[in-house]
Amino acid sequence: MSANSVLESPYVVKAGKILRAKQLTGLEKYFEIELPGREDLGHEPGQFVMISVPGAGEVPISVSSSPWKKGAFELVIRRAGGVTSALHQLGAGDVVGIRGPYGRGFPTRVLEGKNLLMIGGGCGTIPLRSLITYVLDNRDRFGEVNILVGYKSPEMILFKDEFDAWGQKRDVFTDMTVDRVGPGWQGKVGLITKLISPLQIDPQKTYAVVVGPPIMYKFVIQELLKKKIPEDQIIVSMERHMKCGVGKCGHCQIAQYYCCQDGPVFTFKEIRNFYEAI
């Protein structure tokens, strides 16, 4: 086996150096990571990496930055277990293991020339941010853009400053809601489905991209179907626990699909017969 083939192996763990780290909420922490000797990660929006901490383990984390970002890539990690808690203890200068990127990302070439309705719920806005920033980096390639996000409470809002800036872009409409009001909150309150019904869209020219907790999909997709958006123009990213990232362990199997390889991005048409059971 040649040296090049070893480097290209999906099993090789690369050393990633943390350039910056910042707490975003009580649960989420932002990391900017550099792969020494590489200009970028080489990912597509919607893909994920396996990130590891020696002695703690390895977890799958969606990439949150645009592929056009050079010199480093960005992850936002929710503290939810032993490995993610260990990651939250790290900061600038620390080194982590990186495998990937893996999976099928958002079909950016298919989306070119189309109107986009991007809907994010909670930490689903983390991978969606990769697509949003990619679209805004290449604004002339896409039609109208609607960005809708929803969070449980104001304290859990991610990327608030960026969200406000997105709404200032040409032909970009943004809207946000929270499930329950907090101190000083003057925005909208209610489920994210309430943001969809008032929209005036051309269903044949619109692709909807939905990322969020599984419970959100059922009700959001119902609203999108009411808007007459075709099933193959509704794109979702499915949350499923992945262990290996390369389709070997079977942890992430959904019916006939391996989420880490066939997904995590699917069209609703592909998963319509079983998505409610996930």
Q: Helix, strand, coil: what percent of the chain each, to 5? A: 30, 30, 40
Q: Which pLDDT score, from 0 to 100, does residue 242 have?
A: 72
Q: What is the pLDDT of residue 12?
A: 87
**Percent of the chain having pLDDT more than 90?**
76
Residues of the chain predicted below pLDDT 70: 1-8, 240-241, 252, 274-278
Q: Are residues 266 and 238 in contact, defined by beta-carbon separation less than 8 angstroms? A: yes
User: What's the pLDDT tens digit per position in 163-183?
Assistant: 999 999 888 999 999 999 877
For residues 126-138, one letter each, b for 16 or more C-beta atoms within 10 angstroms of the residue's C-beta and e for the rest, the string is bbbbbbbbbbbee
Count CB neighbours of 198 within 10 A. 7
> Two tokens at 168?
């200032």
Burial (Cβ within 10 Å: 0-12, 13-18, ≥19) of residue 82: exposed
User: CA–CA distance from 230 to each of 115, 191, 203, 265 (Å)?
Assistant: 13, 23, 7, 17
DSSP element (H, E) containing 200:
none
The CA dihedral of 103, 213, 149, 24, to the nearest 10 degrees, is -80
Fold of 3-102: Elongation Factor Tu (Ef-tu); domain 3 (2.40.30)
Residue 4's pLDDT is 43
Give how far the C-alpha of residue 201 lies from the chain's centroid of Cα atoms, to the nearest Å: 23
Closest CA to 151 of 139, 141, 143, 163: 163
pLDDT of residue 3: 42
Domain boundaries, the chain: 3-102, 108-277
CATH for the stretch 108-277: 3.40.50.80
Q: What is the value of pTM for the model shown?
A: 0.91
- Location of structure tokens 């896409």: 142
